[in-house]
Chain A
Amino acid sequence: MSKIKKLNKTTRSNFITYAIVIIAYILSQIFSSAGIMSNSLRGQLVPICAYVVMAISLNLTVGIMGELSLGHAGFMSVGAFTGVITAISLQDSVTSGPLRLLIAIVIGGIMAGIFSLIVAVPVLRLRGDYLAIVTLAFGEIIKNIVYCLYVGMDSNGLHIGTVSIEALQMEDGATTIINGPMGAVGITKLSTLLAGFLLILFSLFVVLNLIKSRSGRAIMALRDNRIAAESVGISPSKYKLMAFVTSAILAGMAGTLYAMNYSTVAAKKFDFNTSILVLVFVVLGGIGNIRGGIIAAVILTILPELLRQFSEYRMLTYAIVLILVMILTNGAKARQFLERIKGSLRFIKKKSDGGGAVNG
């Protein structure tokens, strides 16, 4: 305990973030195996993990790099469909499910990284809000590309076309992997809570270490004052590119994890709304606050399900809750109230510590 106290503030904060994730995982495993977790919540565990990774990833772009990305779901989409193609085409050669999932996630991430490079190399050289505009377009472009993408597999290997499945001229008994606007169908579910948990830990590890590193400090310096940072020799495009590509790779990985949890996934899922949903996680959790983003992602994913009892008024209630949270976490009065609670907690703790010493 005293050792942790001696660590500097960021390290301690990072440890707390890791601890929260690990404890949440252990608790959900215990509840799940003890059978006291509802089906509803159990079914949401993997999507929650995917959204948490998305929140961490977008936080790197929005919070640390200080650029707005409005098409993060586009990278998720690239990761999702690449991952699905990889997993299905490896069905016969790699028999172990977890290993196949790992390969799919890695390739999904790499592909999303390549796409982000294409987007970012020209855009990050510019000043201003160009990244927001271009990523917004990117998300829509990816959606429309997948709409006319047909991928199938037979004994000759993969077939890719843009007209229809029939036009691929595959042998009989071929598997359809992506069927245009209908998206990928017939996916074998491979994602598990353990995989999601490990992916969260991995992305936390990457992002928190990047922030703490020399490059991370350069990225933040560029965010705070670009001219000053450039004057000491920090190359803006290099460091921004580094952050953006890392962020896209993590989003691609989250996409694969998400897709492999359902038997079907359509490009429509990864539209502008999903990008905004992830942005809401980040904003609500506090821009640049990784831990806040994680918590916001979890709560905002579970919330619509908890509100099912309101039936028709469900989405209305959801919106009211969102507004209330924004006001309560940012209003001056609310902050004072929170401080008071914090103060009284400290007071109680001090009291009990004191009591303990007398007894001992």
Chain B
Amino acid sequence: MKKFFCIALALVMMLGCFAACGKATPADSANPADSAGKATGNPIKIGGIGPLTGGAAVYGNAAKHGAEIAVEEINALGGIQFELNFQDDEHDPEKSVNAYNNLKDWGMQILCGTVTTTPCIAVAPNSFSDRIFTLTPSASSPEVIKGKDNVFQMCFSDPNQGIASAQYIAENKLATKVAVIYNNGDAYSTGIYEKFSAEAATHGLDIVSVTTFTDDSQNDFSVQLADAKSAGAELIFLPIYYTPASLILNQAESMGFEPLFFGVDGMDGILTIEGFDTSLAEGVMLLTPFAADATDDATVSFVTKYNEKFSETPNQFAADGYDCIYALYEACTAAGITADMDTETICDKLIEAFATETDEDGNVTKEGLVFEGLTGAGSSMKWAKTGEVFKAPMAVVIKDGVYVGM
């Protein structure tokens, strides 16, 4: 009898497993019957994907936390309600597609993701064919939005950052001899470098040294720095994330090499690294859409809330996540979207609401969403029909451990 009980128990557990893999279709989670009473009762289901574990976890967690704060605020307003489900993808395309399918089972109506570029290139074609509206906080490669009418970006695209950096350096006559150190194992870094080098040539900047590294070799930069030094570089352009950048600053200091350093939005966050001597970052310039010590009300309130909740200073990714949810909120309000619509209707309406259409001469033929967020540097953002965002770049310099606008 005892044995029989054992086997029966095992069978029940197996059934449990199968039930877990079984369906959880949108139909049974949406409960249209319950919402008959009040129109705003049902939340719109927003899925989020990003790396919450692994090497890129900083970015995914920041975007997730930013989005969570925005959802809380919006739900407290009492109008349209949002429900956020953020899934981990470990910065891996395969896991990202898995996370996407998982969210589809959950009944996702809008996708806010994915945070990192390479996984986003894998996920976007799926959301395109499933007609789920996608707004990525920080996947910046043009490949993400190429040929997909329902995929939009919140961040600058990589080429724009490269071009803006080269123009900024040339126009302000920061240097003529430039060295570049970039991560050639990363789509983001490579994308910026390619446009930067093309643009630099037209502005008379002389790129004297180009050296690379990959994620596996970002522990030592003495070779790259020595190359830049011997080539006589006056400025080092670093289109990379802040962790390797902090090491570069450190090693340059110990070599007694003191060029100007110029970074892009991935450099944002360098002041928050634990154990990093912020005096090393003194004089570093970077392009960023967001500065945590800006004094406008929206940023101050966001930074305070973020600090209270997660006891750290938000970086640009957190602000991107926050802005994504607010942009979706404004677009949903404008388009009159409710939770009981199917994803395809929501998708079409959101595309309609987001895109600003222009004719060949650049005259606006249809006004799209005009959004004032944390990452717009004081100006408003607009989206092209292709999904690309238009906003003003902001260059800051680090002085006395804080960003100062230039």
Which chain A positions have C-beta within 8 A of B125? 263
Whether a CB of chain B sits under 8 angstroms from the CB of A344 is yes
Complex CA gap A333/B92 in Å reads 39
Which chain A positions have C-beta within 8 A of B104? 39-40
Whether a CB of chain B sits under 8 angstroms from the CB of A169 is no
> What is the 8 Å Cβ interface bit string for chain B, positions 87-102, against chain A (1 contact, 0 not)?
1100011110111111
Complex CA gap A331/B84 in Å reads 43
Q: Is the pair B143, A182 in contact by a Cβ cutoff of 8 Å?
A: yes
Q: Is the pair A305, B3 in contact by a Cβ cutoff of 8 Å?
A: no
Whether a CB of chain A sits under 8 angstroms from the CB of B36 is no
Q: Is the pair B121, A264 in contact by a Cβ cutoff of 8 Å?
A: yes
Whether a CB of chain A sits under 8 angstroms from the CB of B76 is no
Quote the shortest CB–CB distance from A267 to chain B (angstroms).
8
Q: Is the pair B94, A312 in contact by a Cβ cutoff of 8 Å?
A: no
Chain A 288-329 interface residues, beta-carbon cutoff 8 Å to B: 302, 304-306, 308, 311-312, 314-315
Quote the shortest CB–CB distance from A184 to chain B (angstroms).
10
Q: Is the pair B105, A47 in contact by a Cβ cutoff of 8 Å?
A: no
Quote the shortest CB–CB distance from A128 to chain B (angstroms).
27
Number of A-B contacts (CB under 8 A): 104
Q: Is the pair B185, A38 in contact by a Cβ cutoff of 8 Å?
A: no
Complex CA gap A181/B359 in Å reads 36
Whether a CB of chain B sits under 8 angstroms from the CB of A148 is yes
Quote the shortest CB–CB distance from B302 to chain A (angstroms).
24
Whether a CB of chain B sits under 8 angstroms from the CB of A266 is yes
Complex CA gap A312/B187 in Å reads 27
Which chain B positions have C-beta within 8 A of A147? 184-185, 214
Q: Is the pair B22, A47 in contact by a Cβ cutoff of 8 Å?
A: no
Complex CA gap A181/B187 in Å reads 7
Quote the shortest CB–CB distance from A77 to chain B (angstroms).
14
Known: A182-B143, A306-B20. A262 touches B194 (CB 8 A): no
Cβ-closest chain A residue relative to B146: A186
Q: Is the pair B186, A164 in contact by a Cβ cutoff of 8 Å?
A: no
> What is the 8 Å Cβ interface bit string for chain B, positions 121-144, against chain A (1 contact, 0 not)?
110110000000000000001010
Quote the shortest CB–CB distance from B196 to chain A (angstroms).
13
Give the most central of A37, A148, A308: most B CB within 10 Å: A308
Q: Is the pair A43, B97 in contact by a Cβ cutoff of 8 Å?
A: yes
Whether a CB of chain B sits under 8 angstroms from the CB of A172 is no
Whether a CB of chain B sits under 8 angstroms from the CB of A103 is no
Q: Is the pair B3, A344 in contact by a Cβ cutoff of 8 Å?
A: yes
Complex CA gap A308/B95 in Å reads 11
Give the most central of B7, B93, B99, B194: most A CB within 10 Å: B93
Complex CA gap A42/B130 in Å reads 14
Quote the shortest CB–CB distance from B307 to chain A (angstroms).
21
Cβ-closest chain B residue relative to A144: B214
Q: Which of B6, B7, B121, B190 contacts A181 (CB 8 A)?
A: B190
Whether a CB of chain B sits under 8 angstroms from the CB of A44 is yes
Chain B 240-298 interface residues, beta-carbon cutoff 8 Å to A: none
Cβ-closest chain A residue relative to B141: A182
Q: Is the pair A264, B97 in contact by a Cβ cutoff of 8 Å?
A: no
Which chain A positions have C-beta within 8 A of B24? 38
Q: In the complex, which range does the number of interface residues on chain A fall in?
A: 35 or more
Quote the shortest CB–CB distance from A151 to chain B (angstroms).
16
> What is the 8 Å Cβ interface bit string for chain B, positions 173-209, against chain A (1 contact, 0 not)?
0000000000011110011001000100000000000
Complex CA gap A225/B7 in Å reads 43
Complex CA gap A44/B97 in Å reads 9
Q: Is the pair B94, A262 in contact by a Cβ cutoff of 8 Å?
A: yes
Complex CA gap A306/B92 in Å reads 17
Chain B 4-31 interface residues, beta-carbon cutoff 8 Å to A: 6-7, 17, 20-24
Known: A36-B23, A264-B93. A44 touches B118 (CB 8 A): no
Quote the shortest CB–CB distance from A256 to chain B (angstroms).
15
Known: A181-B214, A263-B125. A40 touches B101 (CB 8 A): yes
Whether a CB of chain A sits under 8 angstroms from the CB of B333 is no
Q: Which of B52, B99, B102, B143 contacts A312 (CB 8 A)?
A: B52
Whether a CB of chain A sits under 8 angstroms from the CB of B219 is no
Q: Is the pair B23, A185 in contact by a Cβ cutoff of 8 Å?
A: no
Interface SS, A side: helix
Which chain B positions have C-beta within 8 A of A183? 118
Which chain B positions have C-beta within 8 A of A311? 88
Which chain A positions have C-beta within 8 A of B215? 268
Complex CA gap A147/B212 in Å reads 11
Which chain B positions have C-beta within 8 A of A335? none
Whether a CB of chain A sits under 8 angstroms from the CB of B345 is no
Quote the shortest CB–CB distance from B16 to chain A (angstroms).
11
Whether a CB of chain B sits under 8 angstroms from the CB of A123 is no
Whether a CB of chain B sits under 8 angstroms from the CB of A341 is yes
Known: A182-B190, A312-B52, A314-B88. A42 touches B101 (CB 8 A): yes
Quote the shortest CB–CB distance from B6 to chain A (angstroms).
7
Which chain B positions have C-beta within 8 A of A268? 118, 185, 215
Known: A269-B92, A302-B21. A39 touches B101 (CB 8 A): yes
Which chain B positions have C-beta within 8 A of A38? 21-24, 101, 105
Whether a CB of chain A sits under 8 angstroms from the CB of B301 is no
Q: Is the pair B190, A41 in contact by a Cβ cutoff of 8 Å?
A: no
Complex CA gap A344/B105 in Å reads 40
Which chain B positions have C-beta within 8 A of A39? 101-102, 104-105
Complex CA gap A314/B89 in Å reads 12
Whether a CB of chain B sits under 8 angstroms from the CB of A83 is no
Which chain A positions have C-beta within 8 A of B23? 35-38
Q: Is the pair A266, B118 in contact by a Cβ cutoff of 8 Å?
A: yes
Q: Which of B7, B100, B122 contacts A263 (CB 8 A)?
A: B122
Q: Is the pair A305, B92 in contact by a Cβ cutoff of 8 Å?
A: no
Q: Which of B20, B52, B93, B105 contacts A265 (CB 8 A)?
A: B93
Give the most central of A36, A264, A269: most B CB within 10 Å: A264
Which chain A positions have C-beta within 8 A of B191? 182
Q: Is the pair A41, B21 in contact by a Cβ cutoff of 8 Å?
A: yes
Cβ-closest chain B residue relative to A36: B23
27 sample A-B contacts, Cβ–Cβ < 8 Å, listed by A number: A36-B22, A37-B23, A38-B23, A39-B101, A39-B104, A40-B104, A43-B98, A144-B214, A166-B198, A181-B184, A181-B185, A181-B186, A181-B190, A182-B141, A182-B191, A262-B94, A264-B93, A265-B93, A266-B93, A268-B185, A306-B17, A306-B21, A312-B53, A314-B53, A314-B88, A341-B6, A345-B7
Instruction: Known A-B contacts: A37-B23, A308-B99. Give 4 more (CB < 8 A).
Output: A36-B22, A181-B186, A185-B121, A263-B124
